[in-house]
Each structure stands twice: as structure tokens, then as C-alpha cells.
Chains A and B, each alone.
Chain A
Amino acid sequence: MSDPSTPKNTPRDDSNGQQPGKDAEETKDKVPSTPPDATPEGGPEERADLEPTPTGPGSAQGPEILAVRDGMFGVKGTPDTSGYGRLRRVIEFPGPSQRPYGSWYDAAIDRIAALMPNAGQVITRVVIDRGDLTLHVAREHLLALVKNLRDDAQLRFEFFSGVSGVHYPTDTGRELHAVYHLGSMTHNRRLRLEVSAPDSDPHIPSVVSVYPGADWHERETFDMFGLIFDGHPHLTRILMPDDWPGHPQRKDYPLGGIDVEYKGARIPSPENRRSYN
């Protein structure tokens, strides 16, 4: 199911940014939210390993690059004597893990493979990070997988904790992620499923028929992110007023704060302040 593609494990980004220049390769940071208005001198170098390839970054087997960030404190291009303008950081999410996974993970994934013959298409990626198992699932097979997870005696993930959405605007083609947390009280295990959908087609099958407790969680995820759960009996807004436009927790939705005036000074809303990212 998870083909051993590259022999080495993908490196995790542990440059905390506290020691710039620690990486061997030159890094140039870019603040993702503000568009670059002037390209800094010495422009972005061609980096072949940042392009998506079948086994390269962004693919199912390679490291998951979230963003490439240049500069710091929003400094870019302009007369920058701080030296921070030339920083480049590659933000990588923990990549897929190789077998053997350890603990109960191997047995569970083998059992899923035994129950579902197309397990290779169902589970696109297995990530074991900081002691948690995350399975990236293709959305069309989600309902079948979840049914097996609940009903099979060896898996028995009968406890549904919640769904939440995450919006990755830089992850083109897979912007909206829905993260499911399942638990097995019988075997005392926890599992995370991650399903992604593009912005252009934000549909994911609903798991309400398997876990009735998912009802309100899916409504909340729809309300906050615009993810449409097909098969949900009444997918309406739950936290915002019924006629509210937009989906508030998406990254392209502003925080909506106002400037605060106090004793003649104006303090800008939190989203307009300096960012250290």
C-alpha cells in the first residue's frame, strides 16, 4: 500500500528559523499572505527538487511542501540592511512513512488491505508522526473505508471524535482538507483520517450514515470552510446566521476586525499587524 519509493525517510523541517542560515542550501523566505511587489535581487533560483514529480514533493510519496517563504518581518526587495530579506525557508509537512510502522499500525493497515482489495487507491498516504497515525484517504472511498473501520472486529473504531476542516491555500488542487479523528474504545487506539478536496469541487461524502455523531461537525465544517458533504440530511449553517455570505475560517476570509482608537492612537486590527512568519 505504501510503496517504498525513496530509501531514506523524508527530512522534516526542523529549522526553527531561530538560526537563519543553518540549512546547507540557501533558503529564502516568503510571507505567503502578501503578494511580492518587487522581486529581490538574485531572484528565485531554479530548484528542481521543488517541482512536483511522481516521487518528488507534493506527490503521494514525496515530502509534502506547504510553502516556500522568503524574507522575514515582511521585508522584501527594498533597501534591506537586516539581511533577513534573503532568507528562504521551505515548510515541509511530515512525509509518508515507510514500513514497518511499528506498534499496532502494521496490523491495522494490513487488516484494511485484507478487507478492501483496492486499499492502494483508498489510502493514498500513511503518515506516522509524533506517535499518531494519519491516513490520507481518497474522498470517493471514504464511506466504504469508514464503514469497515467501524464494523470490523479487529479495527472497531466505533468512537467518532470530530471532523474539522483545514484550508491550505498553497496546496493547489487539494486546498480543503477535512480531518477526521476516530477512536477505538475497545482496543484503546486513536486514528486520524485526512481527506482533501479542491476549491473548485469542494465535495466530500458524508459519514453521518456510519457515525450519527458527525452531523453537527459536518455542518460546522461546511459553515466555516464551504466543504459540501454529500449525503448529509440537512447541510445548513450552524454557527453563523443562516444568510451569512462566505465561509469565515478560510484563509482568504479576513478576520474582520476594526482598528481600535485609543487616546488618539489607532491600533490596527490583528490581521494587519506585522507578521513574523
Chain B
Amino acid sequence: MTSTTSDQDLFAGQGEEPAEGTVYTAMGGDWDDIVTEQHDRGDERIVVNMGPQHPSTHGVLRLILELDGETVTELRSSIGHLHTGIEKNTEFRTWTQAVAFITRADYVMPLHNELAYVLSVEKLLEIEDQITERTKIIRVMMAEWMRIASHLVALGTGGMELGATTIMTVGFREREKIMDVFEAITGLRMNHAYIRPGGVANDLPDHGLQLLKDTLKSIKKQMPELSKLANANPIVKSRLVGVGHLDLTACMALGVTGPILRAAGYDYDLRKALPYSGYEDYEFDIPVRDEGDSYARFRNRIDEMWESVRIIDQCVARLEETQGQRVMIDDPKIAWPAQLSIGSDGQGNSNEHLKHIMGQSMESLIHHFKLVTEGFRVPPGQAYVPTESAKGELGAHVVSDGGTKPFRVHLRDPSFHHLQALPALSEGGMIADVVVNIATIDPVLGGVDR
């Protein structure tokens, strides 16, 4: 026989406990022989590994599927292939430097990570009422741009995994406009360490407002192409409708938030329930659907993008009003001192600030030195501010021991939490639906593994 089954675990090493259950081995021989032997055994189960390197697993996610024909009878996910030790790394950097690490956790929505962390730090510092109006408006606007970008990625990569590459090209084309906005304001396309404790790193550039208005106009004109392409498409509908059902009871039992919960019928949005950073002053609705399947989540994400566009419209109007306001708090012992701009030689530098500290003010020089080398100190305690990120509730549990470095930072990432729901969505369905389910949960393995 070229294949055997036994109850003895051949692969257990010395001193290890043998695994339970049947062990199948196949050693060489003709493939047809193996298949007939398996067929004679009468057991049709196959264990398949959808390994970490896979086009459709949204990153390095490993799925171990037990299949019965085409049906998935059991699904287990194995994560940790992207574990970076971000949380431990922040314990060795100052509070402001830690932002550069936190921003790389969930790399599709870096500004949301930063916002969650910075809100917790500001709560510990107790400077929430000193944050200027303009800072709050910029933070809200950047968070909403990030939400649109993240949803475009979710829809685009979801479409690509279905095989509809045009959804991806359209989605990423719109995303490039948002990347331009980010680059103009923060300096980087991705992983901008922009939102810092006390405010934001830089104010809008001179052409910023005009760029924002032009981008909004362009997005409003061309983003509907995505809906026109996919919403009524019969293939999209047949692959998404009724697939990956997660009704409200299941969502509440598993603690799922974000677009998945809102597609299951409950309009819970932290921007309305526990508003932060001035969200209570904006007018926007929360899109909700009843069906709880993948199609509902897909449509809900598109609706959320349009609500975000509405918020950004209001932000741009307010930015016009608050021009000239500081974007960092007034406390020189906490506020990050420099504002970058492009100098006459084309290089970015904080020229104004350098002139000030080298020529005009000794106190500023001292503050700059202390802030950059040592950092500010945060009174002891712990804080957790939940925020509504593009994928669900994102919060940073921050513990301070009174020092210049975080004592402990833990990111409660929505992707990590929601991936636990994947077996509930997929078991009993077909293997092709597993891909759809992952796409609609929209996990980002950087946030899952941190």
C-alpha cells in the first residue's frame, strides 16, 4: 500500500505528546493508487492548507481547511506570521516616537492607529481641552480620507480576489487621489507619523485647501464608477448575496463591530455613540442594512464612503474658517516644536523653526532639545479611548508609569477580533466562499499580528 492510516502519531518527537486522531500518510507511488485507496477507505475528508503565501488571504494568513468535497467542514486560522513586536518596541521609544511604530500596525489605515493611540495619550496627559479646533478638524478630515482609502482597498482587493480586476483598478485609481492628498499634507503616502500627542505634525500646505477641493470634486465625479460597475453586476451578486451570513445575534456574541455589525442591522458607530475629536459637530448618517451577508457589507462600505465624503466637505469649510490657528497645543513642554516645509533648495526642513531656536529664543532651543532627546513625561495611569476605524472599534490601551516612554501600549485591533468570526462565516459553505468571507471581514494582517 502506498498510503496508510493509523492512529499512531508517526511525527511525534521524543518526549512530545502524540497527536490524537487518524494520521494519513502517503509515500510515493502512483497517484491513482493513492486516490483509489482513499476512496475505498470511504472517508472523503481532505485537509488543505491555504498557506500564508496566497493571493487571496489578504496578507499572510494561514487557513487550515478540512474539506468534504467542496464544502468546508472545519476552518482554523493560524496567524502570527507578521508579528512584529510593535507593542514591545514602543516601550523603548518616547511617546512621540512611538507613533511611528503604532502607525505601521494596520498599514491600510495608519492614521486611524495613530489617532487611537494619540487620543489615549492625550487623555493621560489631560490636555484634551487644550487641543485646538483646527487640530480636531484636521484629524477628523484625515481620518475620513483614510476611511475612504481603506474601504477602496477592501472593495478593490475583494473584487480582485473574485476575479474582477477592474474593480481593483478603479478602486486604486481613486485611492491614488487620496494618496496625493496625504502626500501633500503629511509628506508621505503611507505610514505617516502625522497625528502626534498634542496635535498634528504639520499644518496644511499653501495649496492644501485648493487641492482638497479639487480632489473632492474629482472623487465625487469618478467614484460612482465603482458602484455602477459592481452593484448590479449579476456575477458579483451571485457570489456575494447570501454568502457569509452573520446575523445580529452572532455579531453580538462575538463582539463584532464596524461595517459587519452595521450590515447586520445595528447602527452602532462610535463616532456617534462616544464621539471624539469633535465628531459630535458634524452631520452625517450611519448606513445600516438588514441582511447580514457579504453583499450587504459590500454596499454598506460604499455608503460609508459617501458619508465620509459628506464629512470631508464640512471639514473643508471649517478649515477655511480656522486658517492661521495653531495645530499643536500651546504648551511648550509637550508640543512637538517643528513644522516642516520645503526650503529653497528643494529639501524639506523646518526652516522657520531653526531660525527661531538658533537666533531668537533660548527657551525654544532648550525645549526643542529636551523634547527631541528626552520627550515629555506623562502622569501615571492607564487610558483606553475607543475609536471607530474603517474596520471596527480600534483602541489603544496605554499604561504610563510617569516616564518618557510608554510602559505598555496594547492596540485592540478590529481585524484581530473579527478574524475569530471567520469559522462561523465559512464552515458549511464552499471553499470559494471562504475567499469572499475573508474579503468582507477585511482583515489586515498587520493589525492582526502587530
Which residues of A lie under 8 Å from residue B266 when comparing CB positions? 185
- B412 in contact with A89 (CB, 8 Å): no
A166 within 8 A of B: yes
| Contact flags B430-447 to A (C-beta < 8 A → 1, else 0) | 000000000000000000
**What's the Cα separation between A179 and B449 when bound, in Å?**
19
Complex Cα–Cα for A190 and B253 (A): 17
- Measured CB to CB, the nearest residue on chain B to A274 is B373
Q: B18 to chain A: which residues have CB within 8 Å?
A: none
Q: For the complex, count residues of B whose C-beta is within 8 A of A.
A: 54
User: Of A18, A134, A167, A213, which one neighbours B417 at CB under 8 angstroms?
Assistant: A213
A239 close to B (CB within 8 Å)? yes
A66 interfacial by beta-carbon distance below 8 Å: yes
The answer to whether B410 and A18 touch across the interface, beta carbons within 8 angstroms, is no
How many angstroms between the C-alpha atoms of A188 and B79 in the bound complex? Answer: 32
Find out whether the CB atom of A89 lies under 8 angstroms from the CB atom of B420.
Answer: no
Asked whether, in the complex, the Cβ of B255 is within 8 Å of the Cβ of A160, the reply is yes
Given A185-B268, A190-B274, A216-B420, residue A14 in contact with residue B379 (CB < 8 A)? yes
A241 interfacial contact with B, CB 8 Å: yes
> Does B93 count as interface, using CB distance less than 8 angstroms?
yes
A164 touches B397 (CB 8 A): yes
Interface size class of A (residues with CB under 8 A): 35 or more
Is B408 within 8 A of A166, CB to CB?
Answer: yes
Contacts A92-B380, A216-B420, A271-B92; is A276 near B403 (CB within 8 Å)?
Answer: yes
The tally of CB-CB contacts under 8 A between chains A and B is 138
A40 on the B face (CB < 8 A) = no
Decide: B384 and A241 in contact? CB cutoff 8 A: no
A183 to chain B, nearest CB (A): 7
Bits for A35-72, please: 1 = Cβ < 8 Å to B, else 0.
00000000000000000000000000000001100000
CB distance from A176 to the nearest CB of B (A): 12
| Contact residues of B between 366 and 423, Cβ < 8 Å to A | 373-377, 379-384, 386, 393, 395, 397, 399, 401-405, 407-408, 410, 412, 416-417, 419-420
Contact of A238 with B417 in the complex, beta carbons under 8 Å: no
Q: Which of A129, A239, A248 contacts B449 (CB 8 A)?
A: A239
Asked if B124 is at the interface (CB within 8 A of a chain A CB), the reply is yes
With most chain B CB atoms within 10 A of its CB, the pick from A167, A181, A248 is A181
B362 contacts the other chain (CB 8 A)? no
Interface string of A205-236 (1 = CB under 8 A from B): 00000011101110010000000000000000
Contacts of B395 in A (CB 8 A): 161, 181
Chain A CB within 8 A of B237 CB: no
The CA of A67 and the CA of B79, in the complex, are separated in Å by 36
Contacts of B165 in A (CB 8 A): none
Given A216-B417, A248-B85 in contact, is the A16-B253 Cβ separation under 8 Å?
no
Chain A residue contacts of B410, Cβ below 8 A? 162, 164, 179
Q: Are B380 and A213 in contact (CB under 8 A)?
A: no
Contact of A276 among B85, B380, B383, B404 (CB under 8 A): B404
B126 interfacial by beta-carbon distance below 8 Å: yes
Q: Contacts A162-B417, A248-B85, A276-B404 given: A212-B254 contact, CB under 8 Å?
A: yes
Interface presence of B353 (CB below 8 A): no
Query: With an 8 A cutoff between CB atoms, is A93 at the interface?
Result: yes
Closest-by-CB residue of A relative to B250 is A212
On whether A276 and B375 interact (CB within 8 A), knowing A216-B420, A241-B80, the answer reads: yes
Chain A residues within an 8 Å CB radius of B126? 130
Interchain CB contact (< 8 A) of A132 among B83, B377, B384 = B384
**Complex Cα gap A112–B401 (Å):** 30
Q: Which residue of A lies closest to B410 (CB)?
A: A164
Contact A213 B123 (CB under 8 A): no
The reply to whether A94 and B397 form a contact with Cβ atoms under 8 Å apart is no
Per-residue 0/1 for B269-281: is the Cβ within 8 Å of any A Cβ (1 yes, 0 no)? 0000110000000
By a CB distance below 8 angstroms, the chain A residues around B375 are: 276
Partner of B253, one of A17, A212, A256: A212
For residue B252, CB closer than 8 A to chain A, the reply is yes
Cβ contact within 8 Å between A255 and B89: yes
Q: How distant is the Cα of A13 from the Cα of B379 in the complex, in angstroms? A: 7
B88 contacts the other chain (Cβ, under 8 Å)? yes
Select which of A18, A92, A192 is within 8 A of B333 by beta carbon: A18
Contact among A91, A249, A275, A276 with B87 in the assembled complex (CB-CB below 8 Å): A249
Please tell me if the beta carbons of A129 and B254 are within 8 angstroms of each other in the complex. Answer: no
Say whether, besides A179-B382, A241-B80, A161 and B393 are in contact (CB < 8 Å).
yes
**Complex Cα gap A202–B405 (Å):** 26
A105 at interface (Cβ–Cβ under 8 A)? no
A242 vs chain B, min Cβ distance (A): 9
User: Does A83 lie at the interface of the complex (its beta carbon under 8 Å from any beta carbon of B)?
Assistant: no
> With the chains together, A159 CA to B420 CA distance in Å?
15
In the complex, what distance in Å separates the CA atom of A213 from the CA atom of B450? Answer: 18
Chain B 233-273, CB-CB to A under 8 Å as 1, else 0, gives: 00000000000000000001111110000000010100001
- Residues on A with beta carbons closer than 8 Å to the beta carbon of B268: 185
Assembly CA distance A197 to B247 (angstroms): 37
Interface members, chain B 72-117 (any A CB < 8 Å): 79-80, 83, 85, 87-89, 92-93
Residue of A nearest to B403 (CB): A277
Q: A130-B381, A249-B87, A277-B401 are in contact. List 13 more A-B contacts (CB 8 A).
A: A13-B379, A18-B333, A66-B402, A129-B381, A129-B382, A130-B124, A161-B255, A161-B384, A181-B384, A190-B384, A217-B417, A249-B408, A275-B405
Nearest 3 interchain pairs by C-beta:
A213-B255, A164-B410, A270-B92
Where the two chains meet, the residues of B that have a C-beta atom closer than 8 Å to any C-beta of A are 79-80, 83, 85, 87-89, 92-93, 123-124, 126, 252-257, 266, 268, 273-274, 333, 373-377, 379-384, 386, 393, 395, 397, 399, 401-405, 407-408, 410, 412, 416-417, 419-420, 449-450
Would you mind naming 8 contact pairs between A and B with Cβ atoms under 8 Å apart? A66-B402, A130-B124, A130-B126, A159-B252, A161-B384, A161-B393, A188-B274, A239-B450
